Structure 1
Amino acid sequence: MTITENTTGRPTLDSSLVVDGAMLIGGDWVPSSSGDTIDVINPATVELLARVPRGTADDVEAAVQAAERAFPAWRDLPATVRANLLFAWANLIEQHNAELDQIESQEVGRPSWGPPPMAGQLRFIAGQADKVQGVSLPTYSPEQVGFTLREPYGVVGAIIPWNAPGPMFATEVGAAIAAGNTIVIKPAEDAPLTPLALAKLALEAGIPPGVINVVTGYGGEAGAAIPAHPRIRRMGFTGSPQTGAAVMEACAKNLIPLHLELGGKSPQVVFADADLDAAVPAMVQGITLNTGQICAAGSRVVVQRSIHDELVERLAAEMRQVRVGAWHESVNMGPLISARQHERVLGYIDLGREAGAEVVTGGGVPSGYDRGFFVEPTLFAGVSADMRIAQEEIFGPVLSVIAVDDETEAVEVANGTDYGLVASVWTRDVGTAVRMSRKLQAGQVGVNNALGAGVIGGPFGGYKNSGFGRTMGADSVLDWTQVKTVSMRGAVPPAPRTPLRAEQAQD
């Protein structure tokens, strides 16, 4: 793979894993039915990376038909065969790790994170494929047996966001097809290239045509057509609460189940006994990783007042050390994904200033970055819990510090938003950790951990407006199945014949 910088309007992404101007339907790389395309831009240089089809409802219909044709044979494959195909897919991904990392780094704008996680994700999922089991049920008669079967839904749909397109694609697609479903998935128009590359590797691994269909396009067009399609039987969506509500409304019209992951405003609760040497670097990394464009980002620091000033000073010093630049440079943080996101984040910084919060560091565009969608890591102090910067998901490297007096107030502030995805607690006291772990309204709680992560197979999902349903856990494949109860009775023996009396026989 080579990177070519130019301003000629030609695509600069050179990768055999991406078919320029094409999406995957039924095993074929095809343009959109309209012939229109969408430019995918490198957010660091604002140069054209590639073009992808601007899919329509007609393209979604074609993808659903392809998935329907593929479903019976895929469903009827032994689970071990499906698992082996996912293992083969994971192996191919691992062989292309460096190229996949570069593709995603360029389209998202982030610095390299090292080997991508998709191969490991798929191996974890593949290990669950042949663990889809029913249960035996008690019966009223010894002549009957009762049991449950877990069966795939059929053709399912998914919509994923742009901030981590590779891992999101592996999570949704892997679990859905491991259960025996076939899928139609739409990646975000800002970052569709890594999903397309992963789909190409899936075909090369032997996953049959039509099992995975990738329709690119805008959310209001191709995206809206998937949950609205009457033959989609289950949906997965990750994105904003506003779009999630629209997806849920479309699913409700067709009475199909779904899971939603809708972002967060994650609190990091810091008590006076916290190990700040460990907490400060982790908190700064948590808000600057992927330029803060992570649903689990710890964007609110809720700190005991007695250490407020020290913590603010140390956070500011650490944030000033964050190196900003393009993906291929030796930096800690890249640009935001798009001009729209750039405007949004800078707008929230202005809102914080207008509300009376103090910008301790950052607060604008870094010097020397006239091109690209760069913003400085920004720290606000003097933030009250009701400010918009403390209530709304900014999805950028903006950290707000809120002072509290005690544990009771800390719980109130931490839980005082519409979100409930991730929460962190920083303390040396086990009792405090236990109480906070129980009281925090979040799907994931990390103790002395900025992102609430660090475990293998931890179910991921949210409380409140952060959505419902869980992914990535040991039940992730089961969640793409439906339960059938079977009651079975053996053949009823014929009633014994009554012997004839002598006089009946004579007649």
Structure 2
Amino acid sequence: MASSPSTPTGASATRPGAITRTDPHHPPTTQEDTLATTPPGLPDRIQHYIDGALVDSANGETFDVIEPTTNQPYITCASGQQADVDAAVAAATKAFDSGPWPRMLPRQRAAILNKIADEVSALNDGLAAIESFDSGLPIRQARGQANRAAENFRFFADLIVAQVDGAFKMPGRQINYVNRKPMGVAGLITPWNTPFMQESWKLAPALASGCTVVLKPAEFTPVSAQLWAGIMERAGVPEGVFNIVHGFGESAGDALVKHPDVPLISFTGELGTGKIIYGNCARHMKHMSLELGGKSPAIVFADADVEAALDSTLFGVFSLNGERCTASSRILVERPIYDRFVAAYAERASRIVVGPPSDPDTEIAALVHPEHYRKVTEYIEIGKSEARLVAGGSRPEHLSKGNYVQATVFADVPPTARIFQEEIFGPVVAITPFDTEEEAIRLANDVEYGLAAYVWTNDVARAHNVAGAIESGMVWINSHNVRDLRTPFGGVKGSGLGHEGGYRSLDFYTVQQSVHVRLGDVHTTRFGATGYADGDLGLGGPSA
């Protein structure tokens, strides 16, 4: 991504003592150069937002939020429990049952959604600073998050005004139409990678549909979620329609999932938690949308544009610190170009700039949390015993503190390797050769996940045929994952169930009720009377 116009390319971050670079690949010389400065405007503490008010936990419980370049706590956050979730759900239920939000005309809700978008857009620089500081996202990638989040609200504002539901006529006899109604209170549980934007992906369609919501942000990165309260108030969202309960998955998240007055759950996170949510939703037959991560393959055939494939696959796995569910973390390369591809990939990866999140030259910054850092570095050590390490594999020498890891590349990775099979969710990639199209497809499908896939070839027929044979919810041909908000987003197998995006999001957050209206005589078999013929089932003949 490009630097902000207000920050010259190659300049260092606007923090005290920042260095100036002439070579973008030259690392800082001291750990002090990497230390972050707390963004201005943060509250003293993070609270829940329930029924239009910021409140502490009912029992006063809090937890520390840490900053990933030092792993030092810098703010406290309310830790939600059952009582807090009960209060938020009660407020959302009251707003749904007796408030104006579900009863507004689509155009009225759309007007408020557009106001939300305006408020979000105005936060761009401040939001980027908060997201970068809180999550470790490089500032050059954090910029623009507000605009992407705003676009989600504008998109669904347009969609609910333009939406058309079906009407089906049986001339002179019956008309049938679809009555779309909001589902109720939506429980939204969001992840810690690009948290504000991911929250917008769920909030925008849920609110557009007329639902009221309880948002449970990720506990690693709760700070930017606090911005939503002011945004909603300034945009004119009625009290109780939008609520936040912070806290841990096993307390706040579990209480939200199990709450009997929350009819649907949208969750983005890891597979193990998704399986628990799946089971807990069954008790109340809740509607679910589960996006559970991936181990996405990028298949590079010998006839592909190799330079374009290099650019795209490097970006696809190392952007966002590798903490992205659609990362092209397995690269399958056809044998004739395999050695050349591996050498070029390793050389490019070795020059990726690892540095502080606030430095605009940084391409990979600090991983979100020491717990996650331990997981990623453990996988790197496992990979060293399973495959050939060709780039990275350790902490950068100039960064002795914080959750930093080099861009790491393994080659000759067998499909039985754990680094081939398991989601790492960090800047680690596995490259594996193949000889035939059939082998490429088999390798692509030989994992538990099925979220995204990427196919690189100049053979049009092969591109379509291979894409269709891959077990994944989404495939990009000769591209990384450029989103079109109209298309379904979701996976198969261990990557989850259900799809959101475009009209499918509106389908998820609404009940589609079929209404049948009699217009004329309808034949009715008269049970208990005499004179009807054998075999007359009273179905009224042909349906149209």
Q: 2:236 aligns with which of 199, 206, 228?
A: 206
Task: Tell me what 1:495 maps to.
Answer: none
Q: Report whether the alignment pairs 1:121 with 2:146.
A: no
Q: Report whether the alignment pairs 1:97 with 2:124.
A: yes
In the alignment, the residues of structure 2 paired with residue 21 and residue 412 of structure 1 have an alpha-carbon distance, to the nearest angstrom, of: 48
Q: Which amino acid in 2 is paired with 1:167?
A: M
Task: Tell me what 2:57 maps to.
Answer: 32
In the alignment, the residues of structure 1 paired with residue 212 and residue 43 of structure 2 have an alpha-carbon distance, to the nearest angstrom, of: 22
Task: Tell me what 1:44 maps to.
Answer: 69
In the alignment, the residues of structure 1 paired with residue 49 and residue 37 of structure 2 have an alpha-carbon distance, to the nearest angstrom, of: 21
In the alignment, the residues of structure 1 paired with residue 102 and residue 430 of structure 2 have an alpha-carbon distance, to the nearest angstrom, of: 49
Q: Report whether the alignment pairs 1:414 with 2:444.
A: yes
Number of equivalences:
484
C-alpha distance after superposition, 1:473-503 (max 9, x if no partner)? 24322321011122334799xxxxxxxxxxx
For the 8 Å contact 1:239–1:261, the answer to whether it is kept is yes
Q: Report whether the alignment pairs 1:83 with 2:83.
A: no
Task: Tell me what 2:89 maps to.
Answer: 64
SS in 2 for 1:364: coil
For the 8 Å contact 1:423–1:440, the answer to whether it is kept is yes
In the alignment, the residues of structure 1 paired with residue 90 and residue 187 of structure 2 have an alpha-carbon distance, to the nearest angstrom, of: 13
For the 8 Å contact 1:60–1:226, the answer to whether it is kept is yes
Task: Tell me what 1:258 maps to.
Answer: 288
Task: Tell me what 2:273 maps to.
Answer: 243
In the alignment, the residues of structure 2 paired with residue 178 and residue 342 of structure 1 have an alpha-carbon distance, to the nearest angstrom, of: 37
Q: Report whether the alignment pairs 1:130 with 2:129.
A: no
Q: 2:370 aligns with which of 336, 339, 347?
A: 339
For the 8 Å contact 1:132–1:477, the answer to whether it is kept is no
In the alignment, the residues of structure 2 paired with residue 3 and residue 224 of structure 1 have an alpha-carbon distance, to the nearest angstrom, of: 40
Offset, 1:19: 6.4
In the alignment, the residues of structure 1 paired with residue 40 and residue 125 of structure 2 have an alpha-carbon distance, to the nearest angstrom, of: 12
Q: Report whether the alignment pairs 1:152 with 2:182.
A: yes
Offset, 1:465: 0.9
Task: Tell me what 1:395 maps to.
Answer: 425
Offset, 1:77: 1.2
In the alignment, the residues of structure 2 paired with residue 281 and residue 400 of structure 1 have an alpha-carbon distance, to the nearest angstrom, of: 16
In the alignment, the residues of structure 1 paired with residue 173 and residue 383 of structure 2 have an alpha-carbon distance, to the nearest angstrom, of: 71
Q: 1:55 aligns with which of 80, 95, 99?
A: 80
SS in 2 for 1:435: helix
State how 1:312-331 maps to structure 2 within 5 Å: 312-329=342-359, 330-331=361-362
State how 1:432-447 maps to structure 2 within 5 Å: 432-447=462-477
Task: Tell me what 1:464 maps to.
Answer: 493
Task: Tell me what 1:358 maps to.
Answer: 388
For the 8 Å contact 2:39–2:130, the answer to whether it is kept is no
SS in 2 for 1:477: helix
Task: Tell me what 1:426 maps to.
Answer: 456
C-alpha distance after superposition, 1:188-234 (max 9, x if no partner)? 00011122213321221111111111100000000001110001011
TM-score (norm 1): 0.91
Offset, 1:24: 0.7
For the 8 Å contact 2:334–2:433, the answer to whether it is kept is yes
Change in Cα spacing, 1:232 to 1:454, as seen in structure 2 (3 Å) is closer
C-alpha distance after superposition, 1:383-437 (max 9, x if no partner)? 1011110000000111101111111100000111111111011111112211111
Change in Cα spacing, 1:131 to 1:4, as seen in structure 2 (3 Å) is farther
Offset, 1:450: 2.7
For the 8 Å contact 2:173–2:520, the answer to whether it is kept is no
Offset, 1:14: 4.8
In the alignment, the residues of structure 2 paired with residue 199 and residue 442 of structure 1 have an alpha-carbon distance, to the nearest angstrom, of: 36
With 255-264 and 64-73 compared, the bigger mean Cα shift is at: 64-73
Change in Cα spacing, 1:4 to 1:57, as seen in structure 2 (3 Å) is farther
Change in Cα spacing, 1:373 to 1:92, as seen in structure 2 (3 Å) is same
Q: Which amino acid in 1 is paired with 2:431?
A: V
For the 8 Å contact 2:452–2:473, the answer to whether it is kept is yes
SS in 1 for 2:46: coil
For the 8 Å contact 2:174–2:520, the answer to whether it is kept is no
Identity %: 35
Q: Report whether the alignment pairs 1:404 with 2:434.
A: yes
In the alignment, the residues of structure 2 paired with residue 490 and residue 204 of structure 1 have an alpha-carbon distance, to the nearest angstrom, of: 48
SS in 2 for 1:375: coil
For the 8 Å contact 1:49–1:107, the answer to whether it is kept is no
Task: Tell me what 2:311 maps to.
Answer: 281
With 170-179 and 468-477 compared, the bigger mean Cα shift is at: 468-477
For the 8 Å contact 2:50–2:91, the answer to whether it is kept is yes
Unaligned runs of 5+ in 2: 1-13, 18-31, 522-544
C-alpha distance after superposition, 1:289-339 (max 9, x if no partner)? 111100000000101111111111000111011101111112111111111
For the 8 Å contact 2:80–2:252, the answer to whether it is kept is yes
For the 8 Å contact 1:179–1:477, the answer to whether it is kept is yes
In the alignment, the residues of structure 2 paired with residue 125 and residue 147 of structure 1 have an alpha-carbon distance, to the nearest angstrom, of: 23
In the alignment, the residues of structure 2 paired with residue 202 and residue 84 of structure 1 have an alpha-carbon distance, to the nearest angstrom, of: 13
In the alignment, the residues of structure 1 paired with residue 40 and residue 210 of structure 2 have an alpha-carbon distance, to the nearest angstrom, of: 31
In the alignment, the residues of structure 2 paired with residue 351 and residue 450 of structure 1 have an alpha-carbon distance, to the nearest angstrom, of: 28
Offset, 1:84: 0.6
TM-score (norm 2): 0.85
Offset, 1:47: 3.1
State how 1:182-193 maps to structure 2 within 5 Å: 182-193=212-223
Change in Cα spacing, 1:92 to 1:353, as seen in structure 2 (3 Å) is same
Change in Cα spacing, 1:205 to 1:3, as seen in structure 2 (3 Å) is farther
SS in 2 for 1:118: helix
Unaligned runs of 5+ in 1: 493-507
For the 8 Å contact 1:33–1:59, the answer to whether it is kept is yes
